[in-house]
Amino acid sequence: MLENGIEAFGLRDDAAVLQLPAGCPLVASVDSVVEGVHFDLALCGPGDVGWKALMGALSDLAAMGATPLGALVALCVPGGAGDGELALGVMAGVAEASAAAGCPVVGGDVSESTVLTVAVTVLGTIPDGGPPAVGRSGALAGDVLLVTGPCGASAAGLRELRAGREGGATGAAYRRPVARLRDGAVARVGGVHAMIDVSDGLALDLHRLADASGVGFVLDRVPVASGASEDEALAGGEDYELVLAMNDSAGTVLSEAFVDGGSRLPIRIGTVVDDPQVRLLSGEALPRLGWQHRLG
């Protein structure tokens, strides 16, 4: 049934052909998830793995303020009995996330492997002639720092699932996270200076934004998701909330745009400061808490 990856994804030619809106840039990112490293099939189903893989990749488009055009999925599946079922389960989850995010799967490849691995490339654009794609490096001293929602729900959900409980809303946050595509686009149009998604932990991703911008920050508060601890909010990955840096008055206008668009009110968490050595939460140095790849 899965004789060929392209055919498995319902695609026929060697490559997909897409037409971008005239004059609009292409925004592209790749992300991968690996069994035993990023997920455990004892704690989530194949469909969850596919969903999380696509949403995690789409979150990088959200952090640029881009609108998705399509995704290419490389699926590596363990051989042996039942593997076709596993591949189809993952692909079903990819398809659900694809529909939810309005991002069609335009390319795919299926390979045998010893470990389930899903690498997703997402393609997007900046469709509206508004401000360009937002990077991590534009934060300025005096900017306010906002986050699009409380953090830690995914980590709390993982803790619940590991304890043998379903975890309710936090379990769902872990299994079926949602990329903040609308929030990212609204933030870009609203003139945000810098943006990053909370994929590896609020603390670590804040440090990354500050590193890229050559600035420091002073945090007043950490918004903690219901059911999560402050540690989970700071160090838990896969929340996919967005952190925004922008000037104070624009932040007020932006907050109204978020609410008008049906999003939650962004939460003010602190201020950008000039000195890159200053990285404080409640007056103390904030460690680089979060998911660190164990390589190198």
Strand, helix or coil at 235?
helix
Element (H, E) at 26: strand 26-34
Quick one: 34 or 141, whose CB is closer to a second copy?
34
> Smallest gap, in angstroms, from Cβ of residue 111 to a second copy?
5
Q: What are the Cα distances from residue 158, in Å, to 54, 91, 109?
A: 19, 22, 29
Alpha-carbon torsion angle 144, 147, 150, 152, nearest 10: -110
Residue type for 46, please?
P
> Smallest gap, in angstroms, from Cβ of residue 87 to a second copy?
6
Strand, helix or coil at 8?
helix
- Please tell me the distance from the alpha carbon of residue 151 to that of residue 225, in angstroms, as a whole number: 5
- Please tell me the distance from the alpha carbon of residue 38 to that of residue 230, in angstroms, as a whole number: 22
Q: Which residues contact 47 (CB under 8 A, 6 or more apart)?
A: 89, 90, 92, 93, 96
Q: Both tokens of residue 125?
A: 């654009």
Name beta bridge partners: 246: 144
- Please tell me the distance from the alpha carbon of residue 107 to that of residue 39, in angstroms, as a whole number: 23
Quick one: 102 or 168, whose CB is closer to a second copy?
102
Quick one: 1 or 163, whose CB is closer to a second copy?
1
> Smallest gap, in angstroms, from Cβ of residue 241 to a second copy?
13
Quick one: 94 or 224, whose CB is closer to a second copy?
94
> Smallest gap, in angstroms, from Cβ of residue 224 to a second copy?
24
**Residue 201 DSSP symbol:** -
Quick one: 172 or 189, whose CB is closer to a second copy?
189
Name the one residue in this structure whose structure tokens are 């932040």: 251
> Smallest gap, in angstroms, from Cβ of residue 252 to a second copy?
25
Quick one: 96 or 109, whose CB is closer to a second copy?
109
> Smallest gap, in angstroms, from Cβ of residue 237 to a second copy?
12
Q: What are the Cα distances from residue 82, in Å, to 11, 87, 111, 113, 177?
A: 23, 9, 15, 14, 27
Quick one: 131 or 229, whose CB is closer to a second copy?
131
Quick one: 82 or 168, whose CB is closer to a second copy?
82
> Smallest gap, in angstroms, from Cβ of residue 28 to a second copy?
5
68 contacts 49 by C-beta, under 8 angstroms = no
Of 296, 245, 242, the closest CA to residue 264 belongs to 242
Name beta bridge partners: 68: 124
> Smallest gap, in angstroms, from Cβ of residue 211 to a second copy?
9
